[in-house]
């Protein structure tokens, strides 16, 4: 190649160092379905296991073995397609996607191609970067089988584990060219919100556990950038190995900036797959995708087409559980702030805990503060999911009750909660064991005393005391005991009253 | 022993002899093994004999004959070597699977074992069931028992020859474009391709999944009915298996053909059909007419597209089905630098020329840019063909045609002319494309080689075929003729 032609590949003059760019981000998500068995055989679909212990002639693709569809997997994808506002294909069928790789035992992946997908043309609502909501168009929701896993052993040999082979996988792809009325994902924040919202929907449906770290939810964004105002799309790169929400936003952000940098420096984007490296927080080229793979899709002759009738679809639609956005609205209607409601619904289990706690007729805001505050902090510290915590919604409600009826102060309650979290004991049990039902909480008693002393109707008595009438102390002890339903420790009340009244001298 | 075995007793007769305790299954099995020892060096039907397993299956029957009520209980037969049997080497006639022992039984093998029948060995075939002569077998070519210089047909040539030579009472073949019926016609035996879905494909090494079907090769129509009773069933492991229970096919043998209208589709008697073949089939139609059937001329205008259509769709599916033989998990592996190179060299050495040619054709017709012109078009033609058959079956109950245009050709005659070889599927492959049942029944000889006629019925109407074929057999002596092997 001559230097002239190399130069000709450089940026056009209008793409100068000051050209503002925008990113167009497509999302391809693979969700492993929570079925007990694999897609075409009775083998366990559970994660893990000694290599090649969850296999049979069917998922190993032995000669002569034939697939039988797991109907539950079809139902799961149908549910997801409905929840993602898709059109449902009344007749759906499978294709073979043919390619050679050691982890693909039949040398074809049973998948769905084109409009034979179970769901097409749906959308998902996300929060736009600049406020307001955005409707992101979904092109297709389809069912396919997972592949095995290549283990690169030492030296010149490799090993393959087929435990994951034929585990049911749902693929959800956004639209590249959006339909009128729908938006594209344009920022890293929106990409993160997309995967957050999608994960919530899938976990609410109970079709996927959404564990990005274990790979049961995999997100492969494709990214291109273009000068703002341009209608053409730039060259895409795809990012793999994004194992958390944080990695999605950081990875996309890095890649967008990298592409803009390349273009601003007169370079050219290569169509390729890039791998996100968490440690260096960069992406690096894995393989070029310049050559379009030839998959030779054709209808899978070993499986019969599926037909869904309207009644079946409507029945399933009616059986869908409350979706995250509806739950968020319900929480807001209950008096939770928009921001808190958003945090509460992100994790299905958290929202369910909240719902259960509130059902004990305690104050909604107090519950919110406890769940999103102390509780969340402890859960994160210990790495425990909320539904595996020793604290039950009823116990939290009981604790809040103890504060409300002034058995303990808010400050003491924090310690009680920590003990509840560690031991699983009920708050009343903890409080009684420590003798704290008789109020000995000095802060709490002092608060009450300060309040009583500041009350206008008590000023004449206070003046008497300050004038030297010590007997008036008895009056204030009585007032304090009354305010604490007689449970305040009288000795502490006496001492604190003296202290507080002395301060007013 | 008082029992005298000449190799040509029918399966039904053997079953009666077992029932009357005239003979034990072990004796029958040993007699069969002796017959194989005597003639198989000339016919070369078998890739593998499983003497020990066969005898233990026979003993299992002899120990408790009452618990196996099936018509073929205790009666030895053979499997085409593309049918998986647990622990028994299954090669599919290919080097790439040499030594491979399936860890599971095919659906039909389970049926056979449940019925107490005996499998004596695995028969030769064209590699991956691709061929019309067994000349594509990676191991050897089977000979036609009627004239060992001629081919037995294929791809189920080993099964057809074994039955014709009196080596076994029954055998299973597979039929994708004619691979049961064509060798049945060449070897002068009965061969039935059942309706697609009637017999389980589970454990049958796939050639073209939407066309493959297992069926019997036997010396008589009655024996074919007994095999069908043994192997047809719904198999939940095969999604394309027909869910309804099969009828008792032997009951059809008691009915004649009076009231039947038999169509003679003129397109099947056109160019390329040898005169003696056309003549023998027309004479057979007359035999059925004398037995009470009415003959009418019918037309299946698109049937001429059947063969080209078959040679697009079958290789397309094959190119995908055979992609799994990559050396990673089983069978042959040629060690090479990286995995891609290992795949390449394993497949280069493991597959024969015909298989490679079909993989290349299949890959081509599925490629982007060619899919619509070839694969999709062929699927459309397939639909038209099915409609042709639906249309003629509104006028008649059965069709009668030649099975193959000629009698068995000489070994090596077409080896350099694959096109001529493939023409032998012209009358049979349209039937697979439409998914219909069809049987080849011996109906004559030309120069000492057998001629077969094909009876085609609507889907799941095998009983009509049995009725007509049995009636014909009772009225003629072709099934009594024996090769002097």
In a domain, residue A314? The reply is no
Task: Say how far apart CA A438 and CA A434 lie, in whole Å.
Answer: 10
Task: Say how far apart CA B256 and CA A500 lie, in whole Å.
Answer: 117
Q: What is the DSSP string of B165-206?
A: TTS-SEEEEEESSSTTHHHHHHHT-EEEEPPTTSB--TTBPP
Residues A291 and A384 in one domain: no
**Out of B106, B320, B366, closest to residue A64 by CB:** B106
| Residues B433, B382 contacting (CB under 8 angstroms) | yes
Q: Give the residue from A52, A63, A106, A158 with the most B CB atoms within 10 Å of its CB, the best one to mutate.
A: A63
Question: Any chain A CB within 8 A of the CB of B19?
Answer: no
Which of A402, A357, A362 is closest to A375 using CA atoms? A357
Q: Is the pLDDT of residue A15 over 80?
A: no
Which residues contact residue A11 at a Cβ distance below 8 angstroms, ignoring those fewer than 6 apart? A263, A264, A266, A267
Which residues from chain A sit within 8 angstroms of residue B201, using beta carbons?
A: 66
Task: Say how far apart CA B330 and CA A102 lie, in whole Å.
Answer: 12
Q: Where are the alpha helices (DSSP H) in A438-471?
A: 442-454, 459-466
Residues A43 and A169 in one domain: yes
Confidence label for A130 from pLDDT (cuts 50, 70 and 90): confident
In a domain, residue A62? The reply is yes
The percent of residues in chain B predicted with pLDDT above 70, rounded, is: 99
The pLDDT of residue B381 is 97
Helix (H) or strand (E) holding A500: helix A490-503
Chain A: residue whose CA lies nearest to B206: A64
If contacts are CB pairs under 8 Å, which of residues 258-317 in chain B contact chain A?
A: 316-317
| Residues B191, B462 contacting (CB under 8 angstroms) | no
Which residues from chain B sit within 8 angstroms of residue A306, using beta carbons?
A: none
The percent of residues in chain A predicted with pLDDT above 90, rounded, is: 68
Task: Say how far apart CA B164 and CA B152 lie, in whole Å.
Answer: 10
**Which residue is listed with tokens 């002596």?**
B477
Q: Work out the angle between the directed axes of helices A324-334 and A188-205 (0-180°, nearest 10).
A: 90
Residues A363 and A290 in one domain: no
Angle (CA) A153 A159 A164, round 5°:
125
**Out of B102, B324, B375, closest to residue A107 by CB:** B324
Reported as a single tens digit per residue, the pLDDT across A223-279 is: 999 999 898 999 999 999 999 999 999 999 999 999 999 999 999 999 999 999 999
| Residues A28, B168 contacting (CB under 8 angstroms) | no
Which of A296, A349, A267, A351 is closest to A111 using CA atoms? A296
In a domain, residue A111? The reply is yes
Structure tokens at A74: 């079809």
CB contact under 8 A, B323 and A67: no
CB contact under 8 A, A64 and B204: yes
Structure tokens at B99: 């030594």
CB contact under 8 A, A102 and B326: yes
Most confident of A175-184, A432-441, A465-474, B347-356: B347-356
Domain membership of residue B367 as a residue range: 1-485
Residues A298 and A351 in one domain: no
**Out of B82, B237, B326, closest to residue A66 by CB:** B237
Which of B454, B418, B451 is closest to B436 using CA atoms? B454
The pLDDT of residue A113 is 93
Q: Is the pLDDT of residue A8 over 60?
A: no
The pLDDT of residue A7 is 39
Confidence label for A60 from pLDDT (cuts 50, 70 and 90): very high
Which of A61, A9, A66, A74 is closest to A35 using CA atoms? A74
Residues A302 and A406 in one domain: no
Q: Mean pLDDT, to the nearest integer, of A167-184?
A: 93
Give A351→chain B minimum CA distance, Å. Answer: 42
The pLDDT of residue A503 is 85
Question: Any chain A CB within 8 A of the CB of B332?
Answer: no
**Out of B82, B236, B367, closest to residue A296 by CB:** B367
Residues A286 and A402 in one domain: no
**Out of A66, A102, A158, closest to residue B202 by CB:** A66
| Residues A37, A29 contacting (CB under 8 angstroms) | no
CB contact under 8 A, A66 and B201: yes
Task: Say how far apart CA A76 and CA A70 lie, in whole Å.
Answer: 10
Which of B298, B355, B439, B268 is closest to B82 using CA atoms? B355
Q: Output the 3-class SS for A419-442.
A: HHHHHCCCHHHHHHHCCCCCECCH
Last residue of a domain, one of A400, A433, A466: A433
C-beta neighbour count of A454 within 10 angstroms: 11
* SS3 label, residue A41: coil
CB contact under 8 A, A296 and B363: yes
Residues A62 and A108 in one domain: yes
Confidence label for A437 from pLDDT (cuts 50, 70 and 90): low
Confidence label for A438 from pLDDT (cuts 50, 70 and 90): low
Q: Give the residue from B238, B239, B433 with the most A CB atoms within 10 Å of its CB, the best one to mutate.
A: B239
Residues A427 and A449 in one domain: no
Which of A148, A171, A144 is closest to A54 using CA atoms? A148
Q: Give the residue from B96, B214, B236, B366 with the most A CB atoms within 10 Å of its CB, the best one to mutate.
A: B366
If contacts are CB pairs under 8 Å, which of residues 84-113 in chain A contact chain B?
A: 96, 98, 100-102, 105-108
| Residues B171, B216 contacting (CB under 8 angstroms) | yes
Residues A99 and A163 in one domain: yes
Question: Any chain A CB within 8 A of the CB of B364?
Answer: no
Please tell me the total number of residues recorded for chain B in this structure: 485
The pLDDT of residue A10 is 43
C-beta neighbour count of B42 within 10 angstroms: 13
Question: Any chain B CB within 8 A of the CB of A478?
Answer: no
In a domain, residue A312? The reply is no
* SS3 label, residue B254: helix
The DSSP code for B480 is G
Which of B137, B138, B120 is closest to B183 using CA atoms? B137
The pLDDT of residue B473 is 97
The DSSP code for B402 is E
The pLDDT of residue A95 is 97
Task: Say how far apart CA A235 and CA A252 lie, in whole Å.
Answer: 15
Task: Say how far apart CA A419 and CA A425 lie, in whole Å.
Answer: 7
Task: Say how far apart CA B345 and CA A441 lie, in whole Å.
Answer: 82
Q: What is the DSSP string of A251-284?
A: HHHHHHHHHHHHHHTT-----EEEEEETTTTEEE
Residues A138 and A19 in one domain: yes
Helix (H) or strand (E) holding A123: strand A119-127
Q: Looking at the 3D structure of chain A, how many domains does it have?
A: 3
CB contact under 8 A, B324 and A105: yes
ipTM of the complex: 0.95
Task: Say how far apart CA A181 and CA A176 lie, in whole Å.
Answer: 14
Catalytic residues of B: 80, 155, 179
Give A49→chain B minimum CA distance, Å. Answer: 20
Which residues from chain B sit within 8 angstroms of residue A102, using beta carbons?
A: 326, 328, 339
The DSSP code for A130 is T
The pLDDT of residue B3 is 60
Angle (CA) B65 B67 B69, round 5°:
85
Q: Is the pLDDT of residue A6 over 50?
A: no
The DSSP code for B257 is -
The pLDDT of residue A178 is 81
Please tell me the total number of residues recorded for chain A in this structure: 505
Question: Any chain B CB within 8 A of the CB of A269?
Answer: no
The DSSP code for B373 is I
CB contact under 8 A, B320 and A96: yes
Most confident of A471-475, B67-71, B263-267: B263-267
Q: Is the pLDDT of residue A13 over 70?
A: no
CB contact under 8 A, A66 and B84: no
Task: Say how far apart CA B315 and CA A457 lie, in whole Å.
Answer: 100
**Out of A102, A302, A304, closest to residue B328 by CB:** A102
In a domain, residue A6? The reply is no
CB contact under 8 A, B102 and A102: no
CB contact under 8 A, A296 and B326: no
Mean pLDDT of chain A: 89
Q: Give the residue from A94, A96, A292, A298 with the most B CB atoms within 10 Å of its CB, the best one to mutate.
A: A298
Structure tokens at A292: 């379009």
Last residue of a domain, one of A273, A307, A341: A307
Structure tokens at A309: 């009738």
In a domain, residue A316? The reply is no
Buried b (16+ CB within 10 A) or exposed e, B429-459: bbbbbbbbbbbbbbbbbbeebbbbbbbbbbb
Q: Looking at the 3D structure of chain B, how many domains does it have?
A: 1
Distance of CA A252 to the CA centre of its chain: 18
Q: Is the pLDDT of residue A48 over 90?
A: no
| Residues B108, B172 contacting (CB under 8 angstroms) | yes
Q: Where are the alpha helices (DSSP H) in B20-149?
A: 25-43, 51-63, 107-114
Give B160→chain A minimum CA distance, Å. Answer: 22
Domain membership of residue A464 as a residue range: 442-503
In a domain, residue A315? The reply is no
Question: Any chain A CB within 8 A of the CB of B460?
Answer: no
CB contact under 8 A, B367 and A102: no
Q: Give the residue from B328, B341, B371 with the most A CB atoms within 10 Å of its CB, the best one to mutate.
A: B328
CB contact under 8 A, A60 and B329: yes
Q: What is the DSSP string of B374-429?
A: IIIHHHHHHHHHHHHHHHHTTT-SEEEEESSSSSPPBTTTTTT-HHHHHHTTTTTH
Confidence label for A11 from pLDDT (cuts 50, 70 and 90): very low
**Which residue is listed with tokens 């719902």?**
A355
Question: Any chain A CB within 8 A of the CB of B14?
Answer: no
Window from A486-495, B16-25, B249-258, B433-442 with minimum mean pLDDT:
A486-495
The pLDDT of residue B485 is 84
Instruction: Write the CATH number for A460.
Output: 1.10.10.410
C-beta neighbour count of A294 within 10 angstroms: 13
CB contacts < 8 A, A to B, total: 98
The DSSP code for A10 is S
Q: Is the pLDDT of residue A172 over 50?
A: yes
Reported as a single tens digit per residue, the pLDDT across B168-180 is: 999 999 999 999 9
Angle (CA) B14 B19 B23, round 5°:
60
Chain B: residue whose CA lies nearest to A158: B339
Window from B5-9, B252-256, B293-297, B340-344 with minimum mean pLDDT:
B5-9
Q: Mean pLDDT, to the nearest integer, of B219-233?
A: 98
Q: Mean pLDDT, to the nearest integer, of A403-425?
A: 85
Residues A61 and A131 in one domain: yes
Instruction: Write the CATH number for B68.
Output: 3.90.1300.10
Half-sphere exposure of A390 (CA within 13 A, CB side): 13
CB contact under 8 A, A98 and B340: no
Give A294→chain B minimum CA distance, Å. Answer: 7
Q: Is the pLDDT of residue A23 over 50?
A: yes
| Residues B173, B478 contacting (CB under 8 angstroms) | no
**Is-cis flag, bond preceding B155, omega within 30?**
yes
Residues A365 and A225 in one domain: no
Chain A: residue whose CA lies nearest to B209: A301
**Out of B210, B340, B367, closest to residue A301 by CB:** B210
Instruction: Using CA atoms of A193, A198, A203, A207 in order, give the dihedral in degrees to the nearest 10.
Output: -160
Question: Any chain A CB within 8 A of the CB of B243?
Answer: no
Last residue of a domain, one of A376, A406, A433: A433
Window from A87-91, A274-278, A399-403, B447-451 with minimum mean pLDDT:
A399-403
Q: Mean pLDDT, to the nearest integer, of B268-297?
A: 96
């Amino acid at each position: 190649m001559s230097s002239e032609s190399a130069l000709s590949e450089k940026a056009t003059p209008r793409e100068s160092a000051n050209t503002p760019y925008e990113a167009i981000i497509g999302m391809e998500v693979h969700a492993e379905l929570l079925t007990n068995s694999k897609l075409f055989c009775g083998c366990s679909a559970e994660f893990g296991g000694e290599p090649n212990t969850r296999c049979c002639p069917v998922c190993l693709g032995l000669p002569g073995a034939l697939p039988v569809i797991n109907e539950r997997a079809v139902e799961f994808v149908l549910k997801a397609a409905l929840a993602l506002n898709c059109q449902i294909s009344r007749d759906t069928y499978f294709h073979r996607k043919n390619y050679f790789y050691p982890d693909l035992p039949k040398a074809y992946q049973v998948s769905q191609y084109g409009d034979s997908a179970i769901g097409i043309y749906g959308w998902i609502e996300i929060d736009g970067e600049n406020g307001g909501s955005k409707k992101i168009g979904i092109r297709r929701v389809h069912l396919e089988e997972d592949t095995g896993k290549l283990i690169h052993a030492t030296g010149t040999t490799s090993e393959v584990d087929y435990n994951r082979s034929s585990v049911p996988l749902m693929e959800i792809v956004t639209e590249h060219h959006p339909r009128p009325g729908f938006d594209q994902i344009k920022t890293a924040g929106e990409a993160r919100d997309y995967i957050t919202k999608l994960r919530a929907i899938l976990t609410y449906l109970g079709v996927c556990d959404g564990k990005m770290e274990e790979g049961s939810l995999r997100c492969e964004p494709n990214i291109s950038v273009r000068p703002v105002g341009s209608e053409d799309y730039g060259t895409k790169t795809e990012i793999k190995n994004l194992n958390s929400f944080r990695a999605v936003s950081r990875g996309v952000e890095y890649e967008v900036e990298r592409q803009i940098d390349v273009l601003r420096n007169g370079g050219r984007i290569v169509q390729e797959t890039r791998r996100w490296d968490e440690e260096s927080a960069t992406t690096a080229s894995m393989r070029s995708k310049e050559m379009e793979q030839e998959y030779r899709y054709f209808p899978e002759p070993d499986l019969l087409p599926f037909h869904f009738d309207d009644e079946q679809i409507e029945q399933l639609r009616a059986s869908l559980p409350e979706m995250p956005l509806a739950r968020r609205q319900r929480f807001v209607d209950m008096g939770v702030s928009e921001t808190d409601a958003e945090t509460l619904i992100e994790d299905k289990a958290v929202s369910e805990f909240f719902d259960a706690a509130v059902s004990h007729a305690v104050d909604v805001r107090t519950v919110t503060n406890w769940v999103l505050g102390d509780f969340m902090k402890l859960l994160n510290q210990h790495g425990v999911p909320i539904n595996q915590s020793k604290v039950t919604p009823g116990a939290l409600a009981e604790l809040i009750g103890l504060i409300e009826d002034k058995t303990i102060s808010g400050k003491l309650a924090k310690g009680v909660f920590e003990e509840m979290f560690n031991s699983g004991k009920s708050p009343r049990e903890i409080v009684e064991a420590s003798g704290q039902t008789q109020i000995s909480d000095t802060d709490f008693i002092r608060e009450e005393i300060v309040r009583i002393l500041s009350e206008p109707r008590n000023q004449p008595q206070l003046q008497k005391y300050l004038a030297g009438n010590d007997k008036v102390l008895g009056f204030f002890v009585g007032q304090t005991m009354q305010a604490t339903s007689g449970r305040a420790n009288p000795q502490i009340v006496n001492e604190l009253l003296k202290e507080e009244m002395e301060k007013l001298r | 022993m008082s029992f005298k075995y000449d190799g040509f007793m029918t399966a039904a007769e053997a079953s009666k002899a077992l029932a009357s305790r005239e003979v034990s299954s072990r004796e029958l099995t040993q007699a069969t093994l002796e017959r194989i020892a005597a003639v198989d060096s000339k016919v070369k039907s078998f890739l593998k004999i499983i003497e020990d397993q066969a005898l233990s299956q026979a003993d299992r029957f002899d120990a408790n004959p009452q618990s196996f009520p099936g018509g073929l209980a205790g009666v030895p037969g053979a499997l085409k070597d593309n049918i998986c049997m647990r622990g028994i080497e299954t090669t599919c006639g290919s080097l790439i699977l040499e030594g491979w022992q399936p860890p599971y039984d095919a659906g039909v093998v389970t049926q056979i074992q449940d019925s107490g029948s005996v499998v004596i060995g695995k028969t030769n075939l064209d590699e991956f069931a691709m061929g019309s002569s067994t000349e594509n077998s990676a191991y050897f070519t089977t000979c036609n028992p009627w004239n060992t210089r001629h081919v037995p047909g294929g791809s189920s040539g080993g099964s057809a020859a074994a039955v014709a030579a009196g080596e076994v009472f029954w055998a299973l073949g597979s039929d994708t474009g004619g691979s049961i019926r064509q060798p049945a016609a060449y070897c002068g035996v009965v061969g039935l391709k059942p309706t697609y879905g009637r017999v389980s494909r589970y454990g049958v090494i796939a050639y073209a999944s939407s066309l493959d079907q297992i069926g019997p090769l036997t010396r008589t129509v009655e024996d074919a009915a007994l095999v069908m009773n043994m192997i047809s069933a719904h198999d939940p492991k095969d999604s394309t298996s027909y869910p309804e229970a099969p009828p008792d096919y032997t009951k059809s043998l008691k009915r004649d053909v009076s009231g039947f209208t038999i169509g003679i589709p003129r397109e099947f008697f056109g160019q390329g059909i040898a005169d003696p073949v056309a003549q023998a089939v027309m004479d057979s139609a007359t035999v059925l007419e004398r037995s009470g059937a009415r003959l009418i001329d019918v037309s299946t205008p698109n049937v001429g597209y059947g063969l080209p259509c078959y040679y697009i769709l079958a290789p397309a599916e094959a190119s995908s089905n055979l992609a799994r033989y990559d050396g990673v998990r089983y069978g042959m592996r040629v060690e090479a630098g990286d995995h891609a190179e290992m795949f390449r060299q394993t497949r280069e050495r493991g597959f024969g020329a015909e298989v490679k040619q079909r993989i290349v054709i299949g890959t081509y017709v599925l490629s982007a840019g060619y899919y619509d012109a070839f694969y999709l078009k062929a699927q459309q033609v397939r639909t038209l063909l099915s409609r042709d058959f639906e249309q003629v079956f509104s006028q008649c109950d059965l069709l009668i045609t030649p099975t193959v245009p000629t009698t068995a050709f000489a070994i090596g005659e077409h080896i350099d002319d694959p096109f001529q070889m493939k023409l032998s599927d012209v009358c049979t492959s349209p039937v697979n494309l439409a998914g219909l049942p069809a049987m080849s029944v011996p109906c004559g000889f030309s120069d000492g080689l057998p001629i077969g006629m094909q009876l085609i019925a609507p889907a799941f109407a095998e009983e009509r075929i049995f009725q007509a074929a049995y009636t014909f057999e009772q009225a003629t002596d072709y099934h009594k003729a024996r090769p002097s092997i």
